[in-house]
Structure 1
């Protein structure tokens, strides 16, 4: 019968289904959906005259990866349109690259780029470096992003375009960095960076066309890496419009879950209730504006993360009792989560410190007592969790959004360690303990935050090793007792992430009824030495049963 004939049958190699411990010899696909998974003989029975056959020739097949925390528009724009900087670049190297880039631009065009490593960003924050940046940028306004994506470095032309001078007061939630004498350094902390982004955007020609170009570049790179689903971590209306145009052109080769900012964050534009009201117009089968983004604190390198114990004193003017202050009160966050429940939306809560993580869990505990609809709740970036709060993730059905890849030695982790108390750093990213309680861990890159190059296979490898890639020749391990198995690490980027995103009825595993989103790899990542996983090449990527890479 025609309904028993598959469009595609895949056999000839090991198939990891992403259900922990589950393997198969092949699977069959019809109309973009998996219809059978199991022994080779079973799935081959679905073959008919028009069935395509994919012989794995011994290679591993597995589900497409899910990046549970990514900034597609920003990452794609950096990839396609902006000055590329490495977090290891010194200030002098940054100046050379800025001057070279400036020479390519039309008069008045902004220099926009990143990423600056935390150490470089700090070194640029002085009136003298501001003067040197002014010279290197050849009269162009300049905006550079740091590796946390919470801060910016601009030059004098950009400050002028923003309408900022030495007498401009700091706005709520942001800081214009100044030296000890009160002189502007060009550093923009937290929400003042959004003002620079807004000024740069106003100067752009065809911002919608730029964004479409950027998103296409992001998707192309993601297909090469094997990612077929994403949760965009802060999605504005203009990005939803660009995604819709790409989908209408038939070029959207991924499932997209959008996170709608509850308050101003990173980019200018409608947020909160105005954005919640506009977003449903962009909903489609593949575009799902299903989450609200809450930001409870900042990042450790600017000492805006909310901690239970005081920061380390790094300078003579540091407050020995400083712990950081959450941006939301408990009552405000409870109200926000209840609004999510009313709208049928989930919550992605940025909380990088153990104090802000506790605040998020406290709010979730209150809302979980409510009758009726319950929102999916994720806590994003929970690097630091008080030991007594670890069991609460599973108890409250709160998912850990593990991102970015900071569970191995890196310049960003070293920058954090300069500020965070030693005893707090020693329990960073407690994956093993979370899993032991039954909690769900979803993997995410936070691309382009802190990443010179996106590589989800590095994320999987370092969950297992807690070590830097061999090429870095760094013998350190970060909290190695919290290393987890390969299957659990893969699940964090497939089946577990699908559940955290609310799309486990669509994708995330190779199982009948789910979308045929799968990869063919150049190596079996479950058999090669763990230190080789980051070198994995995706030979083929399929989305809904069609090859897209």
Structure 2
């Protein structure tokens, strides 16, 4: 067997996510990798008489979970430094939180926070801007919405951005104005990047700030059982930070980076210049192998590209308006071909069904010219025309699905105000995608929609298609519910393969990293409506315990090895 295993994990319920060997009694670990998975006798024989044994007894053991879509810098900063706002908070509640937070800040500090629910963002007025100014007491304010595409800032922030009532909208964005032409402080799409740049300029020690933010993000991921993640819009500072942390032995997850092809929600270098920079940043656990493309916006602000017209009734609404894509198919194909020639893969943001069709059309041409090797993901697989569903499997395109975004919530409520009722009611067709053979992979898009990357909420909603909160009634396209086994696959081996790490993680299988978790309930047998309450007892990354909630599993094995 080579090196002597340094740990044996045994238990009555060990699910491997390996389709050829889904349930085992035990597995053995050596040098951070699994060297045997099968019967208790086989694992103990492989380990030798002196190897420590972690006996999980009746506790369920699973592979470490994999999140195919998260924003670690934004999420980590939000938890470490920023004003927490719930998407369900009303305007008065948001203003009260801003007022209280402002009182504790030092000179020159911004009020930065989120997330504001889309149902609040779509109703912000000039009067609300004045109220925000008063709550902040003269400080600049930047608040992010639940899509992370848009911001709400106050007058002081607009001044620092150099934005006045006469400022033209930036390309790909807007300074939202009311019917009288007055600024409301709401920023759409690319206008948000200008606000982020202004706020970032006030940070006194950016490197320390980034180190702390990313460490907080990693600790949070580990606490939920996540040991692999795709960073969904990775700027240069993020690559430097992640590489630095890995060099210090602090990167406790496999991280795949997705560098923006064009300017996006954070300021900084993008495209070829960023790809060149990233080529020297890879390490044992950091893989800068993807580019992020943004093909449209989001339905809440009518910036998603739809096949059917929007149904909203805001002033001046064009009844034939469908939104528009940010790329034309020819330029997208050309860009993807150049990307693939570099040896990189692509994550395409496309929330509207017209944008998804554009993406699939481009991939079809890419497959004809460059073959099937490049991995192409489409996030967030929300609105897909029925005629396009089967194309995901046919073209080998990964549906990057975000159950955190679509389960009945304030974001879904806002979408329902804008999108054709039939299209909205048939959203997120994950069962059809699964049964067609597409590599359905779950991603949180944290910190969008939810304050944490809690995968257990996502697992529950994939199976129930309902909000875990019983106060929120209704199901969303209930016929598309997955089985629990499918949902776990979408959080383990599928996203690992979708990130190019199928030979690294995602299953409890000989030769792969010893990434595994022990949880407090058997999600395969409990009522699915309770799965969102699941707690992780321990998380192991490459055989090392990186999270322990303090509940002893076996007194003869230390919490950290």
Q: TM-score range by the shorter chain?
A: over 0.9
Please show how residues 194-343 of structure 1 align to structure 2 within 5 Å: 194-343=193-342
**What's the offset of the Cα at 1:190?**
0.5
Q: CA deviation digits over 1:504-537, x for unaligned, max 9?
A: 1100001110000000111111111111111111
Give the stretch that moved more between structures: 238-247 or 48-57: 48-57
1:29 equivalent to 2:29? Answer yes
Q: CA deviation digits over 1:286-340, x for unaligned, max 9?
A: 1000001000000000000101110003234111000010000001110121012
Aligned to 1:515: 513
Q: Is the 8 A contact 1:410 1:468 kept in 2?
A: yes
Please show how residues 438-457 of structure 1 align to structure 2 within 5 Å: 438-457=437-456
Aligned-partner Cα distance in 1 for 2:506–2:260: 25
Q: Is the 8 A contact 1:381 1:404 kept in 2?
A: no
Secondary structure of 1:313's aligned partner: coil
For structure 1, the 5+ residue unaligned runs are: none
Aligned to 1:61: 61
Give the stretch that moved more between structures: 237-246 or 62-71: 237-246
Secondary structure of 1:3's aligned partner: coil
Aligned to 1:502: 500
Match of 1:544 among 542, 545, 550: 542
Q: Is the 8 A contact 1:333 1:363 kept in 2?
A: yes
1:366 equivalent to 2:394? Answer no
Aligned-partner Cα distance in 2 for 1:430–1:507: 27
Q: Measured at CA, do residues 274 and 4 of structure 1 come closer, stay the same or move farther in structure 2, by a change above 3 Å?
A: closer
**What's the offset of the Cα at 1:4?**
6.3
Secondary structure of 2:369's aligned partner: coil
Secondary structure of 2:400's aligned partner: strand
**What's the offset of the Cα at 1:71?**
0.3
Q: Is the 8 A contact 1:407 1:463 kept in 2?
A: no
Please show how residues 456-467 of structure 1 align to structure 2 within 5 Å: 456-467=455-466
Q: Is the 8 A contact 1:70 1:230 kept in 2?
A: yes
Please show how residues 173-188 of structure 1 align to structure 2 within 5 Å: 173-188=172-187
Aligned-partner Cα distance in 2 for 1:119–1:31: 50
Q: Is the 8 A contact 1:404 1:450 kept in 2?
A: no
Aligned to 1:489: 487
RMSD, aligned CA? 1.2
**What's the offset of the Cα at 1:540?**
0.7
Q: Is the 8 A contact 1:407 1:462 kept in 2?
A: no
Give the stretch that moved more between structures: 370-379 or 85-94: 370-379
Aligned-partner Cα distance in 2 for 1:362–1:217: 39
Q: CA deviation digits over 1:346-385, x for unaligned, max 9?
A: 1000000110000000000001012467311000111011
TM-score by length of 1: 0.98
Aligned-partner Cα distance in 1 for 2:4–2:286: 30
Q: Is the 8 A contact 2:305 2:353 kept in 1?
A: yes
Secondary structure of 1:523's aligned partner: coil
Q: Is the 8 A contact 2:225 2:517 kept in 1?
A: yes
1:45 equivalent to 2:45? Answer yes
TM-score by length of 2: 0.96
Secondary structure of 2:381's aligned partner: coil
Secondary structure of 2:122's aligned partner: helix
Runs of 4+ in 1 over 4 A off after TM superposition: none
Aligned-partner Cα distance in 2 for 1:543–1:107: 41
Aligned-partner Cα distance in 2 for 1:338–1:4: 43
Give the stretch that moved more between structures: 238-247 or 311-320: 311-320
Aligned to 1:479: 477
Q: Measured at CA, do residues 372 and 475 of structure 1 come closer, stay the same or move farther in structure 2, by a change above 3 Å?
A: closer
Q: Measured at CA, do residues 75 and 57 of structure 1 come closer, stay the same or move farther in structure 2, by a change above 3 Å?
A: same
